Amino acid sequence: MQLPSEHRAVLEACDALAALPATTLHLVTTYFDTPKAALTAAGFTLRVRSVGARFIQTAKSHDGDVGLAGNRNEWEWDIAGATPDLSRLGDVPCLASLVAKIAGALEPMFVTDVRRTVRTAELAEGCVVEVAIDVGTIQARGKAEPISELELELKAGPPGPMYHLAATLQAAAPMWLSAESKATRGWHLRTGQTAAIHLATCPKLDAYADAADGFRDILGAALGHLTANIGPTLRGDPEGLHQMRIALRAARATLALFAPSLDTTCVARFDRELQAVCRSFGIARDWDVFCLETLPAAMRALPSARLIDLANVAETSRAASHHGIDTLIRGPQFTATLLALAGWAGQAADDASAPAIAPMGRSLADLAPHLLGSVARKTRKRGRHVTQLSAVRLHRFRKALDRLCDDSIVLAALYPHHRVSAYRTRCVALQGILGAANDAVVAAALGNTLLVDERPDLLAPLKGFLAWNEARRTGALVGLKSATKGFRDTIPFWT
């Protein structure tokens, strides 16, 4: 978590840390790569860290889990000096073949100079956590960026108590989550390049596992996807914001999917908090689509309509919505919600003694048809008489279909691919139609907000845009009836 420097003293004085013995280390770490970034392209980081008179070489792969509780593959060796010893890399799968290519070409890319204060917390259930506070700088090509962060590393036991400790510390000294490593920040400082966005990945579900494990893995994947894209979003990447919104939607879908087997009060609380966050992300995403996709398409279709004036005004609203997202992510409530949700999810999944959540003890494969069937019935109900639905009811149908698609994606691994494929194809086709129609509805609403009293010159361009946009919506809905019929007629893969 990113720790504002003015909150460090408060953090270290809180009850959870004050009584723990602390050790402070001075760590100077140099990251190496070739001028053409061969190691980074292969998915590896190579560094040499000096701790007193000791030199430690570490190779890390980037293909491990990232996010709220990231875990990367790592190899470590003591070496003789500050220069990498490439002979050690023969122990690393997929990296040994690169040794000849990078030999003689490695250069220092950036350096981190950190004073790390380490404590060990022994928590309930045998959970042991290393608590590290890092303060220092990242340096690259004459530029520097401060480091001030808290890192919790699970050394033993279940992760639940660690999340509760994180929540306690975050309440004592407001911090915000970031999954960006020091290496990622160093590369950004050196090159100016934004970290790549992370796409959603489905957890590897075991058909014989119980539903509690499935719930924990599915929600954990959504939260990991969410936090992995915080860095790109804060650096202004609209696709990072889009991925965060997808992850928020997936987290809410998971809560709704397993709600019959969970404590209803807790589900309602977390869904309410996530919905508020989703609303802010939805507004920002709508402005991104409007400014980056819809208006450029309209400009190509209406080259003489002076839509550039609308675009300039719209960009101001888009920038304001992104500023709101930055404030939200760095604010205490966003991080507090995610930590509380992660901690509760593990506890709720394990607590099979309460009657309200007894179904969590069943196998996921046995429970999945019931869960998916319930969501599918609600979706089909909202799509009845689809050609007669108002824009509002079409929006509700679209949201229900989105939730069904999210649920079917994460549970698809439990079923044969050929059974899933046909159903998913029909769902995606219908999703595309409803999504395009909804984009047009949103674009009309956003367009109408751009009229301001002091800009009567915007009226004519807006009128032309709205006419083009309505035609676009009408065109999008042409195949709605047949796509809905195809969806309704397709046999669900879980039956």
Question: What CATH number does residue 424 fall under?
Answer: 1.40.20.10
Strand order in the sheet with 74-79: 74-79, 54-61, 44-51, 23-33, 107-122, 128-140, 143-156
Q: 48 and 170 share a domain?
A: yes
Rounded alpha-carbon distances, angstroms, from residue 486 to 303, 318, 369, 453: 38, 37, 21, 48
- Termini Cα distance of the chain: 44
pLDDT of residue 349: 53
Helix (H, G, I), strand (E, B) or coil at 455: coil
Range of the domain at 354: 277-489
pLDDT of residue 196: 79
| Single residue among 193, 228, 248 that ends a domain in this structure | 193
pLDDT of residue 320: 96
Q: What is the CATH number of the domain that holds 32?
A: 2.40.320.10
| Single residue among 165, 193, 221 that ends a domain in this structure | 193
Tokens 């792969």, located at residue? 61
Q: 331 in a domain, yes or no?
A: yes
CB 110 within 8 A of CB 139: yes
Q: 338 in a domain, yes or no?
A: yes
Residue 448 in tokens: 């109408």
Q: 158 and 297 share a domain?
A: no
pLDDT of residue 357: 43
pLDDT of residue 261: 83
Q: 179 and 301 share a domain?
A: no
Q: Where are the alpha helices (DSSP H) in 19-72?
A: 38-41
Q: 125 in a domain, yes or no?
A: yes
pLDDT (tens, 9 = 90+) of the chain, 495 residues, equals 999 989 999 999 999 999 999 999 999 999 999 998 888 888 889 999 999 899 999 998 875 445 565 556 889 999 999 999 998 888 787 777 888 888 889 999 999 999 999 999 999 889 999 999 999 999 999 999 999 999 999 999 988 899 999 999 999 998 999 888 888 899 889 988 777 788 888 888 887 888 888 898 899 999 999 999 999 999 999 999 999 999 999 999 999 988 888 888 999 999 999 999 999 999 999 999 999 999 999 999 999 888 999 999 999 999 999 999 999 999 999 999 999 999 888 775 555 434 344 467 788 888 889 989 999 999 999 999 999 999 999 999 999 999 999 899 889 888 888 889 989 999 999 999 999 999 999 999 999 998 766 678 888 999 999 999 999 999 999 999 999 999 999 999 998
pLDDT of residue 202: 81
Q: 59 and 183 share a domain?
A: yes
Q: 333 and 464 share a domain?
A: yes
Burial status of residue 430 (CB atoms within 10 A of its CB: 0-12, 13-18, 19 or more): buried
| Single residue among 158, 193, 228 that ends a domain in this structure | 193
Q: 179 and 287 share a domain?
A: no
pLDDT of residue 184: 87
49-59 burial code (b ≥16 CB/10 A, e <16) = beeeeebebbb
Q: 253 in a domain, yes or no?
A: no
Q: 316 and 448 share a domain?
A: yes
Q: 249 in a domain, yes or no?
A: no
Angstrom distance (rounded) from CA 226 to CA 249: 10
Q: 146 in a domain, yes or no?
A: yes
CB 197 within 8 A of CB 241: no
Tokens 């045998």, located at residue? 126
Q: 465 and 351 share a domain?
A: yes
Nearest to 436 by CA among 486, 464, 400, 471: 471
Q: 201 in a domain, yes or no?
A: no
CB under 8 Å to 452, separation ≥6 — which residues? 313, 458
pLDDT of residue 65: 47
Q: 359 and 451 share a domain?
A: yes
pLDDT of residue 69: 59
Q: 188 and 281 share a domain?
A: no
Q: 82 and 186 share a domain?
A: yes
Q: 212 in a domain, yes or no?
A: no
pTM comes to 0.88
Q: 41 and 172 share a domain?
A: yes
* Overall domain count for the chain: 2
**What distance lies between CA 95 and its chain's CA centroid?**
28
Angstrom distance (rounded) from CA 112 to CA 49: 9
Angstrom distance (rounded) from CA 309 to CA 306: 6
